[in-house]
């Protein structure tokens, strides 16, 4: 196990020098953001691709962020709700402890590819003069196709908001039971409705979110605490036979760990692959991180990416291992649901995660709302007029969806395969192929990127099919 964790760190750190930092080659001319728009208009575009509920990044854009601060912010942006679904992803393709070896290998391999494509985006920015992921895509692949990445980022934001809504519903519902609320008030539907109408809607109706930025630091601390608590419970043995939370009278049946079968990789592993994408993707933020660094250059960006991804990879693997070894085949889509409502450490973890998501949610929601406006090219005046109506409409859709969809792992895996694989693998690799086309000595790297395109496209199609079949109970 130590070897595998060390391997994950090695992959993250060694990849700092993988990306070809030369911005030249293969770029003869580029068109504007769309017909009738100039390159300068591109740079003045205010909507930055999906900000993933990371408000401190907004405050640090403008060349004032240090490598360490940005690296920690990157780790926070990556470590979202996907982190807590990974044990369930392992249990879906195997119920044996030996399944952790291929699961960790898959995660490390996906992280290596993801870091490579993440670091290639600033290279495309330098080569094209673009200021965002979608602008670079439009410049390299054609202005008329720029909407594809923008729309993909917006849909990814929609699924991120939905995943957060589901986690909030589960967390607050468990807390309601813990504190003895009546069954009618503690029901999941009642809690989801109350949280969305009573908290998320008012927060999302705020036009200035600057006052919420200080709460964002809570996110990283709660992740550290939650992972630490999971490791402690694993070694302390409270959920093992004879443990104080294993007793059926004290804990739900899902808290009883079960292990059996083979750890062999099979078709169901695609669900874990899709979850891994959602757990590692931050590519829509690459442009913001790059432009936000002090004395921006690629070497500092690579150092920042190594710090952020190394921390995120290690925390994700530890969470996956601790959760699966504690509950085995009983691991749920949101691993916190496995822990007893009578477990005080689990109650604290639920409360912390819920509060962190609660105050970060308006930023994800704002990115979704702005993305929709940007996609249909809504004017500034029209946005002001539509602000409240669109906010209420989107919140209503998310509320109903969060009540209907109870398995966050389904949302995470579907999002990862449907949009994440394109944004994380396929699109950056296609941009690299286009950028490197006329560059001498780039044949091997072009071949490598073609492999990434095939891999990303395959995951996109097969991942969606397997995820939907899983949800329908046909696999």
Q: Which residues contact 348 (CB under 8 A, 6 or more apart)?
A: 225, 229
3-state secondary structure of 50: coil
Confidence of residue 62 (pLDDT cuts 50, 70, 90): very low
pLDDT in tens, 364-421: 898 899 888 888 888 888 999 999 999 999 999 999 999 998 888 788 888 888 888 9
CA distance 211 to 196: 20
Length of the chain: 475
Q: Considering the chain, what percentage of its residues have pLDDT values greater than 90?
A: 36
CA distance 193 to 399: 6
Check residue 474 and give its pLDDT: 67
Reduce the secondary structure of 95-134 to three states and give it as a string: CCHHHHHHHHHHHHHHHHHHHHHHHHHHHHHHHHCCCCHH
Contact between residue 235 and residue 325 where contact means Cβ atoms under 8 Å apart: no
Rounded to 10°, the helix 86-93/298-327 angle is: 60
Q: What is the chain's mean pLDDT, rounded?
A: 80
Q: What are phi and psi of 258, to 5 degrees?
A: -140, 135
Say if residue 253's pLDDT is above 80: no
3-state secondary structure of 65: strand
Tell me the chain's radius of gyration from C-alpha atoms.
22
Contact between residue 46 and residue 134 where contact means Cβ atoms under 8 Å apart: no
343's torsion region: left (phi>0), alpha (psi -120 to 50) or beta?
beta
Q: Which residue has the higher pLDDT, 95 or 402?
A: 402
Check residue 268 and give its pLDDT: 79
pLDDT in tens, 142-151: 988 888 998 8
pTM (whole model) above 0.85: no
Q: Is the dihedral of CA 252, 253, 258, 260 positive or negative?
A: negative
Confidence of residue 216 (pLDDT cuts 50, 70, 90): low
Q: Which residues contact 16 (CB under 8 A, 6 or more apart)?
A: 119, 302, 303, 305, 306
Give the closest residue to 149 by CA, choosing from 298, 48, 73: 48
Count CB-CB contacts under 10 A for residue 256.
Answer: 19
Q: How far apart are the first and last CA of the chain?
A: 30
Say if residue 3's pLDDT is above 60: no
Q: What are phi and psi of 173, to 5 degrees?
A: -65, -45
Confidence of residue 83 (pLDDT cuts 50, 70, 90): confident
3-state secondary structure of 437: coil
Contact between residue 329 and residue 178 where contact means Cβ atoms under 8 Å apart: no
């Amino acid at each position: 196990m130590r070897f595998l964790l060390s391997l994950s760190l090695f992959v993250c750190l060694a990849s700092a020098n993988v990306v070809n930092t030369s911005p030249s080659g293969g770029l003869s001319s580029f068109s504007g953001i769309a017909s009738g728009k100039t390159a300068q208009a591109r740079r003045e575009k205010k909507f930055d691709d999906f900000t993933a509920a990371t408000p401190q990044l907004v405050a640090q854009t403008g060349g004032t962020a240090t490598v360490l601060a940005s690296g920690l912010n990157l780790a926070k942006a990556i470590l979202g709700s996907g982190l807590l679904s990974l044990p369930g992803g392992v249990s879906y393709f195997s119920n044996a402890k030996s399944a952790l070896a291929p699961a960790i290998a898959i995660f490390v391999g996906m992280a290596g590819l993801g870091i490579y494509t993440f670091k290639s985006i600033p290279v495309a920015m330098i080569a094209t003069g673009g200021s965002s992921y979608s602008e670079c895509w439009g410049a390299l692949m054609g202005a008329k196709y720029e909407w594809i990445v923008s729309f993909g980022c917006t849909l990814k934001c929609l699924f991120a908001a939905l995943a957060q809504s589901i986690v909030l519903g589960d967390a607050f519902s468990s807390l309601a039971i813990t504190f003895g609320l009546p069954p009618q008030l503690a029901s999941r539907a009642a809690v989801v409705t109350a949280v969305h109408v009573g908290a998320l809607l008012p927060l999302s109706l705020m036009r200035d979110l600057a006052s919420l930025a200080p709460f964002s630091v809570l996110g990283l601390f709660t992740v550290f605490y939650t992972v630490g608590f999971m490791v402690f419970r694993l070694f302390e043995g409270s959920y093992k036979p004879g443990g104080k939370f294993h007793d059926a009278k004290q804990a739900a049946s899902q808290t009883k760990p079960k292990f059996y079968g083979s750890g062999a990789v099979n078709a169901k592993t695609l669900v874990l692959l899709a979850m891994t994408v959602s757990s590692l993707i931050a590519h829509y933020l690459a442009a913001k991180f790059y432009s936000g660094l002090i004395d921006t250059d690629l070497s500092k960006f690579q150092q920042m990416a190594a710090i952020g991804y190394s921390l995120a990879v290690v925390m994700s693997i530890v969470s996956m291992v601790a959760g699966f070894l504690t509950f085995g085949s009983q691991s749920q889509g949101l691993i916190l649901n496995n822990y007893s409502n009578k477990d005080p450490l689990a109650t604290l973890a639920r409360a912390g995660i819920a509060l962190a998501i609660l105050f970060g949610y308006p930023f994800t929601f704002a990115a979704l709302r702005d993305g929709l406006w940007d996609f249909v090219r809504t004017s500034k005046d029209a946005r002001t007029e539509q602000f409240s109506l669109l906010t209420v409409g989107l919140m209503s859709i998310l509320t109903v969806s969060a009540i209907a969809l109870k398995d966050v792992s389904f949302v995470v895996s579907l999002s990862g395969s449907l949009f994440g694989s394109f944004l994380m693998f396929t699109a950056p690799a296609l941009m690299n192929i286009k950028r490197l086309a006329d560059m001498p000595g780039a044949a091997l790297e072009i071949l490598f990127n073609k492999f990434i395109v095939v891999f990303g496209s395959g995951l996109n199609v097969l991942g969606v099919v397997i995820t939907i079949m899983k949800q329908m109970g046909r696999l």
